[in-house]
Amino acid sequence: ITKERNKKMKRDSFGSKLGILAAAAGSAIGLGNIWKFPYITGKNGGAAFILVYLFCIALIGLPVMVSEFVLGRKTQANAVGAFKAIEPEKPWYLAGHLGVATAFIILSYYAMIAGWIFSYMGRAVTGKLMTVAPDQLGDYFGSIIGGTTESMFCTFLVLLITAAIVISGIKDGVEKYSKILMPVLLTILMVLMVRSVTLDGASKGLEFLFKPDFSQLTTKGVLEALGHAFFSLSLGMGIIMTYGSYINKKENIFKLAVQVTIADTLIALMAGVVIFPAVFAYGFEPAAGPGLIFITLPAVFDAMPFGTFFETLFFVLIAIAALTSTISLLEVVVAFAIEEFKMSRKKATIIVTFALYLLAIPSILSFSAWSGVTMFDGKTFFDLFDFMTSNIFLPLGGLLVCIFVGRVWGTKNAVDEITSNGLFGFEYEGVYNFTIKVLAPAAIVVIFLNSTGLLNK
């Protein structure tokens, strides 16, 4: 019986190198890359912003990602269990709870936004989106997100698909679907890129992306780049830690983190190459903000030959990117529930998904019936959830990881784990120590003060 039980309790794990990469890159690559990165780049003037972003990714994002991976792999536990395993005497596990809570809240509204994408995808395939006059697209977007029933249904659909994948476990769920979805995403992105750069007038868009004009760059832009680096790499909420716990000692963690980081960055840049040349070629505004993909792009596709086809591909692309991210968010919470409450994966997935749906409702209603319900400086529920997680919990989670690895567990132990106790070389120990102990924490504190508005007071 014990044997049987041991077998049952044995932790699931990734089956192949490619599977790990697909799942981790799938988590990192999401709405952040295809929806947010292009519009904040547009807002901040293009290439100069991108350069700053690249620095943030390489100097701060990468070392923090390595730290999360090693914490997970060392302890082979969920985000809460990982802290407990290394420091059982002190309340560091609360940092894990913070991560799980952050993932839970983010997923509740991320699923709603992914739901909008599903709505658009449906309307793109049927050609309905094409029939909307370009100057009506703003109102149209408003009516979709304000249409409670549809939003409720699409959010539910996103959560249902995510749950169906997570319920099958790591190897047969997360890994299997990531390995199918990520190559599809890459293929679609390539097709769209070729289409966009071969349009007449595309070069202006490429110039916007790749020719830096530093006069456009503000301090606020720099800080936004730093904050987005965290969000885009899925750091600060135990996701990378949880995925790290399903990796075995024979993997070179540093190499993996570099690959995930490069993939995430390349995809964000490619999304820019899809969007801006087309936006410029048809004479639209690059600085449209959050409505860029929902309002500007449909107008761009409208003007393009075979627009319906490319529009459909585009929304399928973002839907896939969003799904591989919702999977990772759900997995963090489910792994926690399984191990800390000794639940079966099935039960944990069902309960968590149900709770998530309940929490999504206030966000959905923020765009309709409850749009007038506001708190803390006029924030709706959605604004509040987004603000709390992106601006407070994520930086705080990242900071705690740095302090924990830098000062409690020690970078010496982290480096032993990075090298798998000497199996692999690691030439960047000095840079790594400095980043985790000094540079990253300092940078995070500054982002935090900025994004909460404390810096401007």
Give the binding site for ligand PHE (CB under 6 A).
27-28, 30-33, 106, 231-232, 234, 237, 239, 325, 328-329
What's the one-letter identity of residue 369? Answer: A
Task: State in angstroms the smallest separation of the CB of 312 from ligand PHE.
Answer: 21
Q: Is the Cβ of residue 32 or residue 38 nearer to ligand PHE in the bound state?
A: 32
Task: State in angstroms the smallest separation of the CB of 206 from ligand PHE.
Answer: 23
Beta bridge partners of 375: 379
Task: State in angstroms the smallest separation of the CB of 205 from ligand PHE.
Answer: 22
Please give the Cα distance from 27 to 243 (Å, whole number).
10
Q: Is the Cβ of residue 27 or residue 349 nearer to ligand PHE in the bound state?
A: 27
DSSP one-letter string for 325-392 = HHHHHHHHHHHHHHHHTT--HHHHHHHHHHHHHHHHHHHHHTTTTTTT--BTTTB-HHHHHHIIIIII
Taking a C-beta distance cutoff of 8 angstroms, is the pair 302, 278 a contact? no
Task: State in angstroms the smallest separation of the CB of 273 from ligand PHE.
Answer: 17
Task: State in angstroms the smallest separation of the CB of 256 from ligand PHE.
Answer: 16
In angstroms, the Cα distances linking 60 to 65, 235, 288, 435, 437 are 9, 11, 29, 7, 11
Q: ∠ CA 43-49-52 to the nearest 5 degrees?
A: 150
Q: ∠ CA 275-278-283 to the nearest 5 degrees?
A: 120
Task: State in angstroms the smallest separation of the CB of 232 from ligand PHE.
Answer: 4
Buried b / exposed e along 142-153 (16+ C-beta atoms within 10 A):
eebbbbeebbbe
Q: Residue 240 in 3-state DSSP?
A: helix
Q: Is the Cβ of residue 195 or residue 228 nearer to ligand PHE in the bound state?
A: 228
Q: ∠ CA 56-57-62 to the nearest 5 degrees?
A: 120
Residue indicated by tokens 């990075």? 418
Q: Is the Cβ of residue 104 or residue 409 nearer to ligand PHE in the bound state?
A: 104
Q: Is the Cβ of residue 302 or residue 386 nearer to ligand PHE in the bound state?
A: 386
Task: State in angstroms the smallest separation of the CB of 70 from ligand PHE.
Answer: 19
Q: Is the Cβ of residue 101 or residue 304 nearer to ligand PHE in the bound state?
A: 101
Q: Is the Cβ of residue 86 or residue 323 nearer to ligand PHE in the bound state?
A: 323
Q: Is the Cβ of residue 261 or residue 411 nearer to ligand PHE in the bound state?
A: 261
Residue 229 CB partners (closer than 8 Å, separation 6+): 53, 56, 57, 60, 61
Handedness of CA 303, 304, 306, 309 (dihedral sign): negative
Task: State in angstroms the smallest separation of the CB of 40 from ligand PHE.
Answer: 12
Taking a C-beta distance cutoff of 8 angstroms, is the pair 214, 48 a contact? yes
Select from 53, 39, 48 the least CA-distant residue to 209: 48
Task: State in angstroms the smallest separation of the CB of 329 from ligand PHE.
Answer: 5
Please give the Cα distance from 200 to 207 (Å, whole number).
14
Taking a C-beta distance cutoff of 8 angstroms, is the pair 295, 116 a contact? no
Q: Is the Cβ of residue 240 or residue 364 nearer to ligand PHE in the bound state?
A: 240
Q: Is the Cβ of residue 37 or residue 280 nearer to ligand PHE in the bound state?
A: 37
Task: State in angstroms the smallest separation of the CB of 334 from ligand PHE.
Answer: 14
Q: Is the Cβ of residue 251 or residue 386 nearer to ligand PHE in the bound state?
A: 386
Task: State in angstroms the smallest separation of the CB of 384 from ligand PHE.
Answer: 17
Phi and psi of 259, rounded to 5°?
Answer: -65, -45
3-state secondary structure 190-210: HHHHHHHHCCCCHHHHHHHHH
Select from 21, 67, 83 the least CA-distant residue to 428: 67
